[in-house]
Amino acid sequence: MQNLGVFTSKAVPTPELLKFVQEYSSRNGLPCVKGANDTVIGHSPDLLYVFDATAATQGYFSDEEFHAIESQLGAVPESYINIHLTSTDKASALAKAMAQEVKRKWVGIIDYGGAGGQLGVPRCTTRADSTARRISPLIVTSYRPERRLQGVRVGASARTNSKTPCHRLLRPPELQTTSFQEGRVPNDLPDSDEFVLTELLRRGLDDWATVADVVDVLFNYAKVTDPIVGRRIALRIIATIVERGLMTAGTIQGGFEPYTNEMALDLLERTWPTDHFPELGEMPFWLDLTDTGKQWLQSRGVTWD
């Protein structure tokens, strides 16, 4: 699952957005189904999910990001149109065409960060770039490996016979951007993204990680209290974890049963609530740490017994 966003200099009320989405789907001969909080456009597997909420604050998480958007837009962002899409070429083309129309209609700038690019800059489609997707910057807190959660971990253990290891976070070594084939893990994420991602991986050392672990990291580490903002961050970070093979998503059916990546991200998109943070057991979604994920942790100074 990928994401395109459009910051607009003109306000976009939700009823006006819904009308636009219906007209867009009709012009393109595509089915359009209204959900509880979004509208689904297209034929599977080429789907777009256009969210109803249009508040500009959904698209940035710090004053630094706000000023960067304001500078490139040339105005204070009034609205943010959030388009999620499945990872197919056709869905990508549809989403980009829709984003361009939104940009022209409400005078905006496209954020390609959730689809491998940057604010105003689409993803480069060179062969080297196609090996990894970069997610958009998320500035919530500085990466401080020594910071640990104080108190009880959210979520009960699902593995009955797992040995609980002793692990500690150390100062990470100097890292280089190298390939998986060279035995290292690329260091191409913003510090704050890396902090959240690394802590989620660390939770998988002694147990399958749950959505409750994701919420715990967002709420207690990143200090995210808005469920809508938390949802967007969670989907983006988990997509990176799954697509890079750091953890495998699945369900528990007498043991761990993996999903395909596409199935996992679609399930996450459809079931993660927008009005509250999900609790343990609310979603059939678990994460199992892979050898590549352990390699990521080791390269960042995390040790365990």
**CATH number for the domain harbouring residue 12:** 3.30.310
Q: How confident is the model at residue 155 (pLDDT cuts 50, 70, 90)?
A: very low
Quick check: 113 pLDDT over 50? yes
**Pairwise pLDDT comparison (132 vs 295), residue with the higher score:** 295
> Does the structure show a pLDDT above 60 at 164?
no
Q: Is residue 8 part of a domain?
A: yes
Give the per-residue pLDDT at 57.
87
SS3 at position 80: strand
137 belongs to a structural domain: no
- With 90 as the cut, is the pLDDT of residue 12 above it? yes
Dihedral pair phi/psi, residue 201, rounded to 5°: -65, -40
Q: Are residues 225 and 110 in the same domain?
A: no
> Rounded to whole angstroms, how far apart are CA atoms 238 and 243?
8
Q: How many other CB atoms sit within 10 Å of the CB of residue 152?
A: 7
Residue 165 has pLDDT above 60, yes or no: no
Instruction: Tell me: do 177 and 126 sit in the same domain.
Output: no
What's the mean per-residue pLDDT of the chain? 76
Q: Is 257 exposed, middle or buried (0-12, 13-18, 19+ CB in 10 A)?
A: exposed
Residue 95 or residue 168, greater confidence? 95
Q: What is the pLDDT of residue 17?
A: 96
- 192 plus 123 within the same structural domain: no
Higher local confidence (pLDDT), 18 or 177: 18
Cα three-residue angle 170-189-251, rounded to 5 degrees: 85
Residue-level pLDDT at 124: 59
Number of structural domains found in the chain: 2
In a shared domain, residues 287 and 214: yes
Mean pLDDT of 28-47: 88
Same domain, 114 and 22: yes
Are 9 and 120 members of one domain? yes
Using CA atoms, how far residue 16 sits from 19, 38, 59, 108, 114, in Å, is 5, 14, 19, 16, 24
* 126 and 66 housed in the same domain: yes
Q: What is the pLDDT of residues 213-264, one digit of tens each?
A: 888 888 877 778 888 888 888 898 999 999 999 999 998 877 889 999 999 9
Angle, CA of 137, 139 and 143, to the nearest 5°: 105
In this prediction, residue 54 has a pLDDT band, given cuts at 50, 70 and 90, of very high
Q: Is the domain of 118 the same as that of 239?
A: no
Average pLDDT over residues 112-124: 80
Residues spanned by the domain of 78: 2-130
Q: Based on the domain organization, do 183 and 282 belong to the same domain?
A: yes
**In-domain check, residue 160:** no
180: pLDDT strictly greater than 60: no
How does residue 142 score in pLDDT terms, banded at 50, 70 and 90?
very low
In a domain? residue 155: no
Closest C-alpha among 131, 228, 145, 153 to residue 191:
145
Q: Tell me the whole-structure pTM to 2 decimals.
A: 0.47
Q: What is the mean pLDDT of residues 189-210?
A: 78
The candidate with the shortest Cα–Cα distance to 8, out of 58, 72, 115, 81, is 81
Average pLDDT over residues 158-174: 32
The strand pairing partners of 205, in sequence order, are none
Whether 8 and 106 have beta carbons less than 8 Å apart is answered as: yes
- Whether 41 is covered by a domain: the verdict is yes
Q: Where are the alpha helices (DSSP H) in the chain?
A: 14-27, 63-73, 89-106, 191-203, 211-216, 227-243, 261-271, 291-299
Percentage of the chain beyond pLDDT 90 is 30
State yes or no: pLDDT of 194 exceeds 70: yes
> Concatenated DSSP letters for 203-264?
HTTSS-EEHHHHHHIIIIIS----HHHHHHHHHHHHHHHHHTTSEEEEEESSSEEEPPHHHH
Domain stops at, among 130, 158, 186: 130
What's the rounded mean pLDDT across residues 134-159? 31
Q: Is 140 inside any structural domain?
A: no
Average pLDDT over residues 283-292: 92
